[in-house]
Structure 1
Amino acid sequence: MKTRCIHIFPRFKNSFLIEEIRKKYDDLYGCIEPHITLVFPFESDIKIEDLKTEIHGILSNESQFEVSAQGIEAVDNHGYYLFLNIAKGKERIIELHYKLHKGLLAEYQSPWTKDGSYIPHITIGRFKNKEQMNNAMKDIGKFDPEFISKVERIFIETIGENEESIIEEIIEFGESSN
């Protein structure tokens, strides 16, 4: 049984600005790069070949696209987080999220996204309570640089024993399953 996720790892030229905040407020800093989660952690015995075939089928007709992120939001449903908001490319990411949760991965859709409420984001802070979250927002203050990247591939990740990210596969957009 493996715990896996499916992500986009955007390559922002100014990602060091994100990492400065994550280093202070995200306990997964150092375990995983800034990412947009398409399929949240799920435990399964799905063989990697079956998962690859499924995702290749979904991405084979998808084209690359640009994504931009800007602005931080405090979010207090399902925990206490700071999210870097996705602006451009948001609709494409939402479509991918729901396409990936059909077929083989349908049973692994997170309860909080089944009603169509998936919101693409990059988590930059995780907190034990609302006070810590609000204090971090005050500490960060105005933060509005724009982060731009081309999305060309998605990553199948296994989460290791120490929460580390282990990339199992990288699947390009428009690639056939050969």
Structure 2
Amino acid sequence: MKYGIAIFPGKELQDLANSYRKRYDPKYALIPPHITLVGEFNADNDEIKAISDKLQKVASHYHSIAIKVLKISTFQPVNNVIYLKIEQNSNLEDLHTEIINTIGVTHEHPFIPHVTLGQQLSNDEHLDLYSSLRMRTFSHEETADRFHLLYELENGSWTVFETFRLGKDE
């Protein structure tokens, strides 16, 4: 089965992202706005139980994760994705790295924390949307206190398998 690991931002940021996603993201109905910590990976039932135990231990190493959005960015020319750029911070980077190392998955792209606004756009759509959005000022801050292990359903949508609350060992 396919799994992934993500942080779901708060309602305000989700509403902002969805205001664009419903028009510009064909995956709008398949998964809520999120920050991917680990992209798709495969695991069977036995493996996912062990991974879940490991993720619980990782979650205990962190109090919270600061989420700060200041601008729009794009992955062009690699692909026509426009996103809200999450400012890098050591806790977020450390959490990503620890999860990757702990569960032993590889990733093909560097970790660029973001919330997708539009994807699979034509070149003209991409240019129009990006030109418009980069003129706007974005300023949003929140704190995440959990991350989620997700799995893909037969219809291509993603749902939560397990939630891991952050909290340092006392």
Per-residue deviation at 1:155? 0.3
Map 1:81-120; keep pairs closer than 5 Å.
Answer: 81-87=81-87, 90-104=89-103, 106=104, 108-113=105-110, 118-120=111-113
CA RMSD of aligned residues (A): 2.1
Change (3 A) 1:14 1:123: closer
Q: Which aligned runs of 4 or more in structure 1 are off by greater than 4 angstroms?
A: none
Aligned AA for 1:143? R
CA contact (8 A) 1:9 1:33 kept: yes
CA contact (8 A) 1:12 1:148 kept: no
* Partner of residue 18, structure 1: 17
Cα distance in 2 for partners of 1:147, 1:64 equals 16
Cα distance in 1 for partners of 2:25, 2:163 equals 25
Change (3 A) 1:3 1:172: same
Map 1:16-165; keep pairs closer than 5 Å.
Answer: 16-45=15-44, 47-76=47-76, 78-87=78-87, 90-104=89-103, 106=104, 108-113=105-110, 118-140=111-133, 142-165=135-158
Per-residue deviation at 1:126? 0.4
Cα distance in 2 for partners of 1:56, 1:84 equals 28
Cα distance in 1 for partners of 2:6, 2:167 equals 17
Per-residue deviation at 1:47? 3.4
Provide the TM-score with structure 2 as the length reference. Answer: 0.87
Provide the TM-score with structure 1 as the length reference. Answer: 0.83
CA contact (8 A) 1:59 1:173 kept: yes
Cα distance in 2 for partners of 1:42, 1:78 equals 21
Unpaired runs of at least 5, structure 1: none
% identical equivalent positions: 21
Cα distance in 1 for partners of 2:75, 2:114 equals 11
Unpaired runs of at least 5, structure 2: none
CA contact (8 A) 1:31 1:165 kept: yes
